[in-house]
Structure 1
Amino acid sequence: MTAPLLSLTWTDHVTGRRGFLVVDRLVRGVSSGGLRMRPGCTLDEVTGLARGMTMKEALHYDPQSRYVPLGGAKGGIDCDPRDPEAYGLLVRYLRAMRPYIETMWTTGEDLGLTQDLVDRAAAEAGLVSSVQAVYPLLDDEATARKRLADAFAVEVDGIGLDELVGGCGVAESVLAALDRAGEPYTGTRVAVQGLGTMGGATARFLTRAGLTVVAVADVKGTITNPAGLDIEALLAARDAYGTVDRSVLRPGDRELPRDAWLSADAEVLVPAAVSYAVDTANQQRIGARWIIEAANMPVLPAAEQLLARRGVTVLPDVVVNSGTNAWWWWTLFGDIGPDAEEAFARTRRSMRALIDLVLARAETDGTTPRAAAHAVVADRLPLIEERFGWYR
């Protein structure tokens, strides 16, 4: 595995907390990857996420599309986003990273941060936009920026389109896997870890497709109901961090420990919160048939090997949660307009094609879906390099 193009550690002069930036690869001089904030964030974590972004970009490469594939990057800050010092730290981090954001790194919301917060802090840090590095690649910058702003203003049933597209992609990954296995949607039970942006939208789309969400976990614990949870009520009762107000629970809902989602009586598990949630010890508790990685790096590699031996299929994050990133660029470059149905249709079509491609490749090669995704990326990166050049 080659080293990333750029790797740096920043220390805040006010709090002493650390932040990180890793640019894995540039395409046409630009990279893409969100900024996360969580206590315990490390350079190694951000490095792995940046490599994953390179893969996500390559997986969505379509030579007929206006969307220019970018390189992969990631930012991280070691701080609890609930800390009173978090916002000031975010502004100082963005101010320190300004030369990179202006020239080579496009970023946005990730774990612990919302896009609204990133935008507000970026403006305070003196930036035009958190994605301004891509503007020179646009045919008509003003029109493109308005199109993206209009898309971010779209709401569907009270939730912003930018929050929904990622969950739409995760849900479509689940449905594609079920279809390929010949399993009906009705009667398929799902447990979701995390009811934030990605997990909440995923739960909504799966419920509306006919699946039954029997467990959701947040920082307070796991809420379960074998007959199915009222997902819309839980979504309406979330705070900004995805924590559910327990006063909305129904008589049949039960509260269990936070890690109880792992052993939920369900066919599908969707880890949609933190990285490294499934390890070699707790994987033994999992009885589900599929794990759909909505979060980044939620299953440790050694745990995935053990799960594979037990017949548990892990659909990898680099495929499953790539829809949000792709939607940003489809919209900005003009492949789609600021319309919810158009966004959902493009997301579903693209994600289903990717899942089918990866699972077919896994069957042909006799490997895991993750290894198959890596093989697809290995096929596509040379095509991108041949067309746009290779910046390392």
Structure 2
Amino acid sequence: MTAAKPQSPLISLTWTDHVTDRRGYLVVDRLVRGVSSGGLRMREGCTQAEVAGLARGMTMKEALHYDADRTEARYIPLGGAKGGIDCDPRDPEAYGVLVRYLRAVRPYIENVWTTGEDLGLTQELVDRAAAEAGLVSSVQAVYPLLDDEAAARKRLADAFEVTVDGIGLDALVGGCGVAESALAALDRAGVPYGNARVSVQGLGTMGGATARFLARAGLRVVAVADVKGTIANPAGLDIEALLSARDAHGTVDRGALRAGDRELPGDAWLTTDAEVLVPAAVSYAIDATNQSGIRARWVVEAANMPVLAEAEELLTARGITVLPDVVVNSGTNAWWWWTLFGDIEADAEEAFGHTRRAMRELIDRILAHAEAHGTTPRAAAHALVAERLPVMAERFGWYR
């Protein structure tokens, strides 16, 4: 068996819905022990190339959380995969499209692809559609790797029932990881939290949780953006009030705004005076043109692939550090497996503590490598993945 990373995805397929002609995609970039991990997104304009890039990113995220020397860890990372459906999740036909897609790819979910919520979809919706499609679970492909399947499934189900201040634990752990990544960068630069302002694009699951954790750490969230525009207040927004006023898609009811809050155009979040910029909504949000308006010192990629490569080069040249998505937003995926495999229990305090330790350790390692080699954090992450993938392939193999 070769330990080399494949240059092309192992599996790449396109599905066409026979009812609406909508298209869906599945890309399995890599298998480890015969299984891959990666969410399913639904958005208008989703492409196969986008899904392939996300699948490769999942391969990286899985590898980044593997430490061959940590023998006490029960979870051994999987391969990377991703699914995508070209459909507006608000479309009245969207749920039917989702169910038919899951029926079509059912053999892959049963055997090689573990999936869950991503952009445009909630886990509750994925679970409901998966049941209607005849699936036991959206992660059933991993069950043969578990020591005690019944106990593991109960532990994960219990974890999804945990809420913190009215928000599900599953909706918070990813933002906890993003926030900890930003805090680690501030600590390395010696910037007090009270002196740091934050602008967030997207107040959905990831963006909302990130804003909450950063605000509670003492940072001032001065701008947030949703589909209606940007809400800004240089004195700081009441994040808890805005979170309580969101709908299911992360859109804030403007009736919750205070006297000092201003409504600005949708792209104003980019140019807001802030030290930390968090794109947490869509891919390809920052391009070679609009990057010129960014004033932040750090761009923290909470969304998948929000900064185009050319934009990142220009930002780097201007002294702005991009903390890459493959590191920053990997906490949600890792939390699923830490819980299922039994590294942590269905407990919020334990989940947040484990996430913070893992993410800070990873960010510190990535930033130290980048500083030592005069490169970007993304290049440092790629270097670490290049070290770990051959070890994983040698120890566990691609297939069962």
Does the TM-score normalized on the shorter chain lie above 0.5? yes
Q: In structure 1, give the amino acid aligned to 2:53.
A: G
User: Could you state the TM-score of these two structures normalised by the residue count of structure 1?
Assistant: 0.99
Q: Does 1:43 align with 2:48?
A: yes
Aligned to 1:279, what secondary structure does the other structure show?
A: coil
What is the alpha-carbon distance in structure 2 between the residues aligned to residue 110 and residue 359 of structure 1? 27
For residues 230-309 of structure 1, the aligned pairs below 5 Å read 230-309=238-317
Query: Which of 315, 324, 336 is the aligned partner of 1:328?
Result: 336
Aligned to 1:83, what secondary structure does the other structure show?
A: coil
Residues 251-282 of structure 1: CA distance to partner in whole angstroms, max 9, x if unpaired? 00000011110000101000000000000000
Q: In structure 1, give the amino acid aligned to 2:40.
A: L
Residues 18-66 of structure 1: CA distance to partner in whole angstroms, max 9, x if unpaired? 0000000000000000000000000000000000000000000134210
Q: Is the 8 A contact 1:33 1:73 kept in 2?
A: yes
Q: In structure 1, give the amino acid aligned to 2:15.
A: W
The equivalent of 2:27 in structure 1 is 22
What is the alpha-carbon distance in structure 2 between the residues aligned to residue 331 and residue 62 of structure 1? 17
Q: Is the 8 A contact 1:30 1:103 kept in 2?
A: yes
The equivalent of 1:67 in structure 2 is 75
Q: How much has 1:382 moved relative to structure 2?
A: 1.2
The equivalent of 2:60 in structure 1 is 55
Aligned to 1:186, what secondary structure does the other structure show?
A: helix
Q: Is the 8 A contact 1:191 1:215 kept in 2?
A: yes
Sequence identity percentage = 82
Query: Which of 345, 368, 372 is the aligned partner of 1:337?
Result: 345
Q: How much has 1:391 moved relative to structure 2?
A: 4.4
Residues 132-172 of structure 1: CA distance to partner in whole angstroms, max 9, x if unpaired? 00000000000000000000000000000000000000000
Q: Is the 8 A contact 1:27 1:391 kept in 2?
A: yes
Q: Is the 8 A contact 1:270 1:291 kept in 2?
A: yes
Q: Is the 8 A contact 1:25 1:391 kept in 2?
A: no
Aligned to 1:258, what secondary structure does the other structure show?
A: coil
What is the alpha-carbon distance in structure 2 between the residues aligned to residue 302 and residue 144 of structure 1? 43
The equivalent of 1:12 in structure 2 is 17
Query: Which of 147, 150, 154 is the aligned partner of 2:155?
Result: 147
Q: Is the 8 A contact 1:32 1:106 kept in 2?
A: yes
Across the two proteins, how many residue pairs are aligned to each other?
392
What is the alpha-carbon distance in structure 1 between the residues aligned to residue 386 and residue 371 of structure 2? 17
Two-structure CA RMSD over aligned residues (Å): 0.8
What is the alpha-carbon distance in structure 1 between the residues aligned to residue 67 and residue 115 of structure 2? 22
**Where in structure 1 are there 5+ consecutive unaligned residues?**
none
The equivalent of 1:166 in structure 2 is 174
What is the alpha-carbon distance in structure 1 between the residues aligned to residue 333 and residue 398 of structure 2? 21
The equivalent of 2:323 in structure 1 is 315
What is the alpha-carbon distance in structure 1 between the residues aligned to residue 358 and residue 101 of structure 2? 34
What is the alpha-carbon distance in structure 1 between the residues aligned to residue 373 and residue 10 of structure 2? 31
The equivalent of 1:32 in structure 2 is 37
User: Could you state the TM-score of these two structures normalised by the residue count of structure 2?
Assistant: 0.97
Q: In structure 2, give the amino acid aligned to 1:221.
A: G
Q: In structure 2, give the amino acid aligned to 1:172.
A: E
What is the alpha-carbon distance in structure 1 between the residues aligned to residue 128 and residue 117 of structure 2? 12
Which stretches of structure 1, 4 residues or longer, exceed 4 Å deviation after superposition?
Answer: none
The equivalent of 1:120 in structure 2 is 128
Query: Which of 129, 145, 153 is the aligned partner of 1:137?
Result: 145
For residues 361-372 of structure 1, the aligned pairs below 5 Å read 361-372=369-380
What is the alpha-carbon distance in structure 2 between the residues aligned to residue 279 and residue 103 of structure 1? 38
